[in-house]
Structure 1
Amino acid sequence: MPTLRGHHVVSLIGAGLLVAAAVHHGTEVEAVGNVGGPLLAFALDGGIAVAVLAAGRRIARRGLSPAEEWRVARWTASGAVLALAAFAATLAVRVFEGRPLVEPAFPMLVAAGAGSLGGAVAGYYAVRQAADARRARDAVRAVSFVNHLLRHDLRNDLSTIRGYADLLVDETDGSDHAATVAAKAGEGLERIEATSAVADAILGDAGSSRVDLAATTRNVLSSVDDGDSVTVETDLPESASVAANDGVRSIVHNLVENAIEHAGPDVTVRVAVRVGEGDTTEEVGDDEVALVVEDDGPGLPPEIRNGSFPDDDGRDEGRAGSRDGAGSRDGAGSRDGGVSGLGLVATLADAYGGSLEAGESDLGGARFAVTLPHAPADSAGFDT
């Protein structure tokens, strides 16, 4: 014997309304002595009943689970009951006022049919919305799981490679191949850590920690070629702790790389870190730390003059990441991600409770300022 499912209930409600309309208007034909009026009324309430029947058939073809179908059925029945209750309330008021009730069956059938149809439609979209939300949660869990799995396995493999490469360096004479392997393995490990930190921040899995923004900035700048084509000026305090994780490295790297990539040849880049302690001319709150990167290039790109930071497709996302996440030579950002890198910076700054602002630099080019929450040494968290 087939199991009764939710779409059967919806169809039965529609069939019941259709039969009730047919019986009622059939008796009206004899009562009024003509066919036109009852037939027109039947076209209305019977048509709504047919629509409820069609909704039941449509739900059956949508591949919903039994639980989802029963949820739609409950919405359908509830819609009919609520509509009938509302109409019955109006009838009760008329009775209380002493007014006569003229042929209430027809409007009751219309109300019940409209309530059923509305409930079926609302229930179906409620089920779809719940399913979409569930799939989104599952996707986030899957991304988080893959992130942790890959970083665990790759970290172990690269650590093994670097260990054996170090042994080869000690055992070989004159060959730098082993040293190259060890260096590349070390870079790979740094890249994994940076990518993992970015993913954790975006997914909301990042724990509370203190990161020295000044030390991170110095480390990133040490890999920049400060030669004839690039001049880097710095104004960095001894330390400037922020509440974040190692993904801060991607913020610094992307802003510096953006300045170098877009400012043209012989660029001058000025990098400063300001701690808001009341003794700075920068607009930094007492509980904030600001990273300011300026250049003497052509100024702000057209894509971000309206205050948004488009992704690598040119769309104004303001939350977009760089094309390869955190992949570059130091594991912090993409060298091809000038504008898309700014999307990653905006995303990370927001994830850390900060912000990214763009403006014109005193040097004549662009100025980008990231503010992050200050994390003094006596605050909660741990150092990374």
Structure 2
Amino acid sequence: MSTFRGSHAVSALGVGTLVAAVIHHGTEIGAVSGAAGPLLALALDGGIAVAVIVTGRRIAARDLSPTEEWRVARWAAAGTVLAVGAFAATLAVRVAEGRPLVEPLFPMLVAAGAGSLGGATAGYYAVRQAAEARRARDAVRAVSFVNHLLRHDLRNDLSTIHGYADLLAAESDGDDHAAVVAAKADEGLDRIEATSAVADAILGDADSSRVDLAETTRGVLASVADGESTTVEADLPEAAPVAANDGVRSVVHNLVENAIEHGGRDVTVRVAVRVGADGDALADGVAVADDEVALVVEDDGSGLPPEIRDGSFFADDRSAADPDGGVSGLRLVATLAEAYGGSLAPGESPLGGARFVVTLPHAPAGSTGSDT
């Protein structure tokens, strides 16, 4: 036995309006000369009623729960009541003014049908939007749960590996294999912490803390040694605290790696950090506000990538995780900068290549948050 659902209620509104229109205009045909007028009127209000019936059937064909269907039905009923009520109010005004009412039922049927149709349509899109928002919240919760689960389990596994590597190193003489395993375990732990911080920042779960951008940059550059075809120059202050989390390391790492990868052979990469409160905040043509810290990464390579030069990079809404090389890294940098309350700005470097400036909120010693 089928259950009466909200879609049936919507169709019932249309059927009721259609029956009323047929009866009303059927009596008109015998009361007036000629059937053209009543039939034309029936085509109007009856056509709207048929559209309401079809809308109800289409709602039934959608994958909506009974609760969602009844929500659409309530919207349709509310639209009918509002439209009929508004029209009835105009009739009341005309009566109060002493004006005669000429065939009020026809426009009232049109108003009822239009109100039902508009209410059902608005209700359907409201339900769909709510469902999409709910799915988005569920997806965020799922990603956040997986992030914390992987962080916990992988950290435990790597800590166990590190412990066994220490035991092997103590039992072996002159064998550096255990040391390599321990070093790789430490590197994996650092990578997990950085990745977790990135995920927390993107998901909005990160607690703001004071991170020394200058010290973080020194750590990243220490792992990027000058090669035969790469020269890295650094201009860093003693300290540059920003309001962020450990994901700042990914910001620095991706910008430096992007400059090295796209700069070409014999590229020179210059990395600088500017604190807005310092007197040299305007050095190299980089303007920094008093409450900001800027990370400047530039090179003498071939210049800005085409996607950034023509602006399509900023218009494209693909995920920062898309495997498209350096552009993917820049997407991640832009996303993290925005999550921290900062920004990423591309430009041309005086060296002849590309320049990227990331501005982040300054976090002086008296600000809230813990040091990391």
- TM-score band (shorter)? over 0.9
Alpha carbons 1:7, 1:73 under 8 Å: kept? yes
Q: Matched residue of 2:56: which SS?
A: helix
Alpha carbons 1:309, 1:340 under 8 Å: kept? no
CA distance, structure 1, for counterparts of residue 139 and residue 234 of structure 2: 42
Matched, 1:284 2:283: no
Deviation at 1:205, TM superposition (A): 0.6
Equivalent residue runs for 1:202-213 within 5 Å: 202-213=202-213
Q: Matched residue of 1:144: which SS?
A: helix
Alpha carbons 1:307, 1:358 under 8 Å: kept? no
The count of residues paired between Structure 1 and Structure 2 equals 368
Q: Matched residue of 1:321: which SS?
A: coil
Deviation at 1:33, TM superposition (A): 4.3
Q: Which moved more, 1:8-17 or 1:245-254?
A: 8-17
Equivalent residue runs for 1:229-244 within 5 Å: 229-244=229-244
What is the CA deviation profile of residues 249-281 of structure 1, one whole-angstrom value per residue up to 9, with x for unaligned ones?
A: 011001111111111111111111111124112
Aligned to 1:321: 320
CA distance, structure 1, for counterparts of residue 39 and residue 321 of structure 2: 65
Relative to the length of structure 2, the TM-score reads 0.94
Aligned to 1:328: none
What is the CA deviation profile of residues 100-134 of structure 1, one whole-angstrom value per residue up to 9, with x for unaligned ones?
A: 21111111111111111111111111111111111
Aligned to 1:332: none
Aligned to 1:299: 303
Matched, 1:250 2:250: yes
CA distance, structure 2, for counterparts of residue 271 and residue 37 of structure 1: 81
Matched, 1:62 2:50: no
Matched, 1:372 2:367: no
Q: Which moved more, 1:224-233 or 1:263-272?
A: 224-233
CA distance, structure 2, for counterparts of residue 345 and residue 111 of structure 1: 54
Q: Matched residue of 1:383: which SS?
A: coil
Matched, 1:382 2:346: no
* Letter paired with 1:34: G
* Letter paired with 1:321: A
What is the CA deviation profile of residues 140-195 of structure 1, one whole-angstrom value per residue up to 9, with x for unaligned ones?
A: 11111111111111111111111111111111123332222222222211111111
Relative to the length of structure 1, the TM-score reads 0.91
Aligned to 1:97: 97
* Letter paired with 2:370: F
CA distance, structure 1, for counterparts of residue 84 and residue 163 of structure 2: 77
Alpha carbons 1:210, 1:241 under 8 Å: kept? yes
Aligned to 1:9: 9
Q: Matched residue of 1:109: which SS?
A: helix
Structure with the higher helix share, 1 or 2: 2
Deviation at 1:94, TM superposition (A): 2.4
Question: Of 338, 341, 349, which residue of structure 2 is paired with 1:350?
Answer: 338
**How has the CA–CA distance of structure 1 residues 376 and 172 changed in structure 2, closer, same or farther, with 3 Å as cutoff?**
same
Q: Which moved more, 1:8-17 or 1:349-358?
A: 8-17
* Letter paired with 1:296: D
What is the CA deviation profile of residues 28-85 of structure 1, one whole-angstrom value per residue up to 9, with x for unaligned ones?
A: 1221143332222212211211221122222222131121111111111111111111
RMSD between aligned residues: 1.7
Alpha carbons 1:309, 1:342 under 8 Å: kept? no
**How has the CA–CA distance of structure 1 residues 93 and 5 changed in structure 2, closer, same or farther, with 3 Å as cutoff?**
same
Identity of matched residues, %: 78
Deviation at 1:306, TM superposition (A): 4.1
Alpha carbons 1:231, 1:269 under 8 Å: kept? yes
**How has the CA–CA distance of structure 1 residues 129 and 297 changed in structure 2, closer, same or farther, with 3 Å as cutoff?**
same
* Letter paired with 2:345: E
CA distance, structure 2, for counterparts of residue 64 and residue 359 of structure 1: 49
What is the CA deviation profile of residues 329-377 of structure 1, one whole-angstrom value per residue up to 9, with x for unaligned ones?
A: xxxxxxx732221111111111101111111212121111111111112
Deviation at 1:90, TM superposition (A): 2.1
Deviation at 1:307, TM superposition (A): 5.1
Equivalent residue runs for 1:217-236 within 5 Å: 217-236=217-236
Gap runs ≥5 in structure 2: none
What is the CA deviation profile of residues 268-304 of structure 1, one whole-angstrom value per residue up to 9, with x for unaligned ones?
A: 1111111112411241111111111111112212211
Deviation at 1:308, TM superposition (A): 5.9
Aligned to 1:201: 201
